[in-house]
């Protein structure tokens, strides 16, 4: 496939307090084998060569692990494939395409600059209860705490949540319920997570609401946008644990 020429419409915002606007750029020489972020690197090289400010965007591992590459691409969180932005390849686009690139849009994720948002609300949710109180010291022998295979597999599967925030960006309510429920389910399925199971859910839901995330109305956009395919039914688990906790007066 020959190289592509693209039109990019990108949200530019100098800082958290200034107004932002869409800007249009042309970029050429884009190979189908490049990742989306490599395409943005080419744009930034062009902008720097022209003496213009490069576009700020978040990234770290570029391997689908860290969850920092958070872009709204043509109105879809992480773009047209079920993957992270860093793992999205330009073969998903064609020569002559116009691509719109925006930051996550959520009151709880304020824009810091251009395409970079502040997702520290997720860190505060984890700090409010997303941990277990295990004694420190040497790691216990893995099989000394038996866990049923089904529960262990479910815990492992939901532990793949990378905290990217695509679920929030995709949700019309700006809810972080899928993220929250993935963390609650991960710890709640395992024996080590039981001592704080019900205080955890109350504290984490309280922090979620205090951060300004919206409520879940079972629309399901979150699970469709999730690059780690966290299933929607974890939110049922979250609600069940919350009901149990409230009944028990936690």
- Give the interface with ligand SF4 as residue ranges (CB under 6 A): 161-167, 178-179, 182, 225-228, 230
Tokens of 248: 């028990």
Dihedral angle of Cα 238, 241, 245, 248, to the nearest 10 degrees? 160
Nearer CB in complex with ligand SF4: 27/166: 166
- 64 binding partner (options ligand FES, ligand SF4, none; Cβ < 5 to 8 Å by kind): ligand FES
Q: Report the residue number, 89 or 151, with the smaller CB distance to ligand FES.
A: 89
Which residues, 6 or more positions from 149, have their beta carbon under 8 angstroms from its beta carbon? none
Closest separation between CB of residue 49 and ligand SF4, Å? 35
Contact (CB, 8 A) for 88 and 79: yes
| Tokens linked to 151 | 């529960």
What is the nearest approach in angstroms of ligand SF4 to the Cβ of residue 86?
13
Instruction: To the nearest 10°, report the CA torsion of 143, 236, 202, 217.
Output: 150
Question: Closest approach of Cβ 204 to ligand FES, in Å?
Answer: 23
**Closest CB to ligand SF4 among 32 and 223?**
223
59 binds, among ligand SF4, ligand FES, none (CB under 5 to 8 A by kind): ligand FES
* Chain positions contacting ligand FES, by CB under 6 A: 59-62, 64-69, 84-86
Give least dist CB 37 to ligand FES, A: 7
How far apart (Å, rounded) are the C-alpha atoms in residues 6 and 41? 14
- How far is it, in rounded angstroms, from Cα 48 to Cα 54? 6
The least CB distance from residue 33 to ligand FES, in Å, is: 17
Run of H or E residues at 47: helix 36-49
Which partner, ligand SF4, ligand FES, none, binds residue 230 by CB below 5 to 8 Å per kind? ligand SF4
């Amino acid at each position: 496939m020959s190289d592509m020429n693209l039109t990019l419409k990108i949200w530019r915002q100098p800082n958290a307090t200034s107004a932002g606007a869409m800007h249009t750029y042309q970029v050429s020489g884009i190979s189908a084998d490049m990742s989306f972020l490599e395409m943005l690197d080419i744009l930034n090289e062009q902008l720097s060569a022209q003496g213009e400010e490069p576009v700020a965007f978040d990234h770290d591992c570029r391997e689908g692990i860290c969850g920092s590459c958070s872009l709204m691409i043509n109105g879809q969180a992480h773009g047209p494939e079920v993957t992270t932005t860093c793992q999205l390849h330009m073969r998903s686009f064609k020569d002559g395409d116009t691509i719109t690139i925006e930051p996550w849009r959520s009151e709880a994720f304020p824009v810091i600059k251009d395409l970079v948002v502040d997702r520290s609300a997720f860190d505060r949710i984890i700090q409010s209860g997303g941990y277990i109180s295990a004694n420190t010291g040497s790691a216990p022998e893995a099989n000394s705490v038996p866990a049923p295979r089904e529960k262990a597999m479910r815990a492992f599967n939901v532990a793949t949540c990378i905290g990217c925030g695509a679920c929030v960006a995709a949700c019309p309510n700006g809810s972080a319920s899928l993220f929250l429920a993935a963390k609650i389910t991960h710890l709640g399925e395992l024996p080590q997570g039981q001592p704080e199971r019900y205080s955890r859910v109350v504290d984490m839901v309280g922090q979620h609401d205090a951060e300004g995330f919206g409520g879940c109305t079972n629309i399901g956009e979150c699970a469709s946008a999730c690059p780690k395919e966290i299933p929607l039914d974890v939110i049922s688990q979250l609600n069940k644990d919350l009901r149990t906790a409230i009944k028990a007066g936690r």
